[in-house]
Structure 1
Amino acid sequence: MKKLPIFFLIALLFSCSEKDKKDSFLNILENLTYTIDTLVVDSGEEFINLSLSLNFSDVSEDKKSLFIFDRGRLSFQEVDLDQMKLLGTYPFEMEGPNGIGKGGIFQLFPDRKLMIPSVTKTAIYNLQGELISNLKLITDELEHTSNIDEFTLLNEIHFDPKSGVFYSLPGNYTSGIRELAIINATTNKGKVVKLPELEKAGNFRVFFNTKNDKAIEMEKYSLSLILEKIYITCTVTSGVYRYNPATDDLEYIEFNHQIIPNEKTGEIINEVYSQKEFNAEYRKVASQISYLKLMWDEETSRFYRLAYKGVLGDQQLEPISYQVFLLAYSEDLELMGETLIPDFNQVPKSYFFKDGKLYSYVNVEDELGFAVFTFDF
């Protein structure tokens, strides 16, 4: 038998112990218990339009207010999340010098001003519906641009009022691949940065392409501005891109989750020409793990996120239910915990952390409500 040098054995043992240390962790969520309360917002004599759930909404940085944009009535409504009541409705105009156009997405700033972007006009408004300042977004002066449709510059768009910089995730509509756009609103110059670790998302798109019908299912991306850094995630994988504007550094952080796969796998036919083929390929994707956006909780000084897997029926296209998982990370994005949440059997439509609790939107007989999860760590 060939003998190994002693220094090689020591190095091997050290390497294995470091790997074991990296691949294992003290799971703070392993024995997690929780209670669930359902809270309903008191809207008084007003009406909160929930036809689009909370698709067009934003939570204030201090988690005290939720703002909802009602596209039909062209108004914003403010909900007090401590008292669970509607505080006010703020009407806006579509046309004219203060017009906001036909958009729907917006961003709420700490000073209670709103950034409302569109392809033709992007501006900051106060709650009285008055335009405060115009911002330059659309530009031909982007470095390293590829085949980007200018409309996709609105994907996950965020504006940092401190630096005057836009961040978004543009790309080609049908490729399923996104890139990071960084645009200075003052100079109207910027760059587009590739996100190679997330390009695998393109392998899991399903494009139904016929002369009369077209449909596409793609992986979803998220971009968040948290603690003065940019965090980018995609449902295809647990990995996270973190961009530091102060140093212009972009890094990709991977995890080794224990109870769920780290990413989607397998072969998917990306372009199909019949409903039967579309259903078959979509089911391959829907049954796999999907990782959602990162959420920062000041109360615990941790990042949290949700992940889910579809539970398929025999014939039904959509999953009949879901397994939903809660994941926890340190401020430096070290994995701290993971667990299944049995009481979630559907993917939350809108959710956020507040005071260490998870708030998940629910419709309670057409009234705005939240299922509030209080965790016992």
Structure 2
Amino acid sequence: MRKVLTICILGLLSACTGKESENSEPKNILENLSYSVDTVVVDSKGEIINLKYGMNWFDLSPDSRSLFIYDYNQTLFQEIDLDKMVLSNTYQFEKEGPNGLGRSSNFQVLPDGTLMIPTFPNSGIYNLQGEILSRINLNPEDIKGVDAPNPFALIYEILFDPKTEILYSLPGDFINGVRDLAVIDSKTQKGRIVKLPKMEKAENFKIFWNSDTGGSIQTENYTLEQIDDKLLITCTVGSGIYVFDTKTDSLSYVDFPHQLIPREKTGEIQNEVSTEEDFFQELRKVLSQVSFQELIWDEHSSRFYRLAIKSFVAEKKGDPTTYETYLLAYDKDLKLLGESKIEGLDQRLSNYFWKDGKLWSYVNVEDELGFAVFTFNF
């Protein structure tokens, strides 16, 4: 009742102030952000949940009630009931043979409870008994209209729309770090590549070290998400996002008037280096700038939320990296609603998701699967 009364009073005030309200600056809803954190641990029922690689390969069910983790070493999926916080099922798959997954790591939980598992050359839709229901050909040489640099390119950030049987992914050159949008009809084996020019500046921030003594590469990360009939494409290089409307087959770009943090990375970066020392010197320049993470839709609040992270790599090898993390909020039409630094958070959140209006982030609790659950107040 108190919330309804507040809205009514605000409405009257707005009506009285007239043009003054119309011209006022939009309010930052996160201006007075505070939060609390609870740690919850999954009851594994005596089974082992392999955390050797953390929670690197996971997906949520469309209703956000279950979380699926893939154990690459044992080729099995484990289902976590997030409401009861218990390991509810383990599904054993095969790596070789007619139903074999091959070298799979990425996967997508579909609304009917099946899994879309993209591998090369064994991509397909599988049931939870490990049986392949239908094959999906992701060999670029067989798909008319798609030119990809290598056989694995189409698997990056791949999504399958079961209503249309259209596949979407972000292929690109691994070395230069630039991605495009691929739209593929899995039935006709026809597709096309859609360029993302405003994100091509990601190439300016790649760092490539290759020598006889070692090597490494740093590139910006892209993400692809589907919310109803819209695809959202983000890149850590800047705040702007591409929106691809799957109904109208149209692409648009949205940028945001961030005030608290820069909208994109800037500066000169040496893209190719010959020593490890030079690699880390350039890496510090890139990571100390803000990296915009993916937008995640929260059904509970009907908002998009996003994290933006600055990472400060220590000068001395072995010293810990420190972080600054920012929370950003947007409405359903991608209007910026607020931005705030998450004070006191000195660690990087990993493998996180939103559920019931709260941010859940993976933590290892004495080799048991756990989550730090953030409740934000504003």
TM-score by length of structure 2 reads 0.91
CA 1:342/1:316 → structure 2, altered by over 3 Å: closer, same or farther?
Answer: farther
CA 1:283/1:156 → structure 2, altered by over 3 Å: closer, same or farther?
Answer: same
Q: 1:202 Cα shift?
A: 0.4
**Which residue identity is paired with 2:68?**
F
Partner of 1:143: 145
**Matched-pair contact (CA < 8 Å) for 1:139–1:189:** no
**Matched-pair contact (CA < 8 Å) for 2:305–2:329:** yes
Q: Deviations over 1:5-47 (max 9, x none)?
A: xxxxxxxxxxxx9xx87xx521111112222110000001101
The alignment status of 1:258 with 2:266, answered yes or no, reads no
Determine the C-alpha separation between the residues in 2 that align with 1:29 and 1:35.
15
**Matched-pair contact (CA < 8 Å) for 1:353–1:359:** yes
SS in 2 for 1:373: strand
Determine the C-alpha separation between the residues in 2 that align with 1:85 and 1:150.
38
Partner of 1:42: 43
Q: Deviations over 1:60-82 (max 9, x none)?
A: 11110000011111110000001
CA 1:318/1:223 → structure 2, altered by over 3 Å: closer, same or farther?
Answer: farther
**Matched-pair contact (CA < 8 Å) for 2:244–2:252:** yes
Q: Deviations over 1:79-118 (max 9, x none)?
A: 0001101001110111222111121111001111001111
**Matched-pair contact (CA < 8 Å) for 1:201–1:236:** yes
**Which residue identity is paired with 1:315?**
K
Q: 1:135 Cα shift?
A: 1.5
Q: 1:313 Cα shift?
A: 3.4
Map 1:91-130 to 2 at 5 A. Answer: 91-130=92-131
Determine the C-alpha separation between the residues in 1 that align with 2:58 and 2:101.
16
Q: 1:319 Cα shift?
A: 6.2
Map 1:284-299 to 2 at 5 A. Answer: 284-299=285-300
Partner of 2:232: 231
CA 1:79/1:200 → structure 2, altered by over 3 Å: closer, same or farther?
Answer: same
Determine the C-alpha separation between the residues in 2 that align with 1:247 and 1:319.
48
Determine the C-alpha separation between the residues in 2 that align with 1:227 and 1:319.
41
**Which residue identity is paired with 2:161?**
D
Determine the C-alpha separation between the residues in 1 that align with 2:286 and 2:355.
32
CA 1:134/1:312 → structure 2, altered by over 3 Å: closer, same or farther?
Answer: closer
Q: Deviations over 1:274-319 (max 9, x none)?
A: 1221121111111110000110000111100101112343434886
Determine the C-alpha separation between the residues in 1 that align with 2:232 and 2:277.
37
Q: Mind listing any 5+ residue stretches in structure 1 that lack a counterpart?
A: 1-16
Determine the C-alpha separation between the residues in 2 that align with 1:96 and 1:144.
29
Partner of 2:17: none
Determine the C-alpha separation between the residues in 1 that align with 2:314 and 2:174.
30
Partner of 2:65: 64
**Matched-pair contact (CA < 8 Å) for 1:296–1:302:** yes
**Matched-pair contact (CA < 8 Å) for 2:284–2:312:** no
Q: Deviations over 1:314-348 (max 9, x none)?
A: 43488621011111001110000111112422221
CA 1:123/1:144 → structure 2, altered by over 3 Å: closer, same or farther?
Answer: closer
Determine the C-alpha separation between the residues in 1 that align with 2:319 and 2:331.
34
Determine the C-alpha separation between the residues in 2 that align with 1:48 and 1:229.
35
**Which residue identity is paired with 2:117?**
I
SS in 2 for 1:198: helix
Q: Deviations over 1:210-245 (max 9, x none)?
A: 244221011111111112211110110000011011
Partner of 1:162: 163
**Matched-pair contact (CA < 8 Å) for 1:53–1:349:** no
**Which residue identity is paired with 2:331?**
S
**Matched-pair contact (CA < 8 Å) for 1:139–1:188:** no
**Matched-pair contact (CA < 8 Å) for 1:183–1:189:** yes
Q: 1:150 Cα shift?
A: 2.8
SS in 1 for 2:129: coil
Partner of 1:89: 90
Partner of 1:7: none
Q: Mind listing any 5+ residue stretches in structure 2 that lack a counterpart?
A: 1-19
CA 1:253/1:142 → structure 2, altered by over 3 Å: closer, same or farther?
Answer: farther
**Matched-pair contact (CA < 8 Å) for 2:140–2:154:** no
**Matched-pair contact (CA < 8 Å) for 1:124–1:133:** yes
**Matched-pair contact (CA < 8 Å) for 1:94–1:101:** yes
Partner of 1:181: 182
Determine the C-alpha separation between the residues in 1 that align with 2:214 and 2:35.
46
Determine the C-alpha separation between the residues in 2 that align with 1:63 and 1:374.
17
CA 1:272/1:299 → structure 2, altered by over 3 Å: closer, same or farther?
Answer: same
TM-score by length of structure 1 reads 0.91
Determine the C-alpha separation between the residues in 1 that align with 2:319 and 2:103.
31
Determine the C-alpha separation between the residues in 2 that align with 1:128 and 1:100.
13
Determine the C-alpha separation between the residues in 2 that align with 1:196 and 1:319.
36
Determine the C-alpha separation between the residues in 2 that align with 1:149 and 1:277.
29
SS in 2 for 1:143: coil
Identity of aligned residues (%): 51
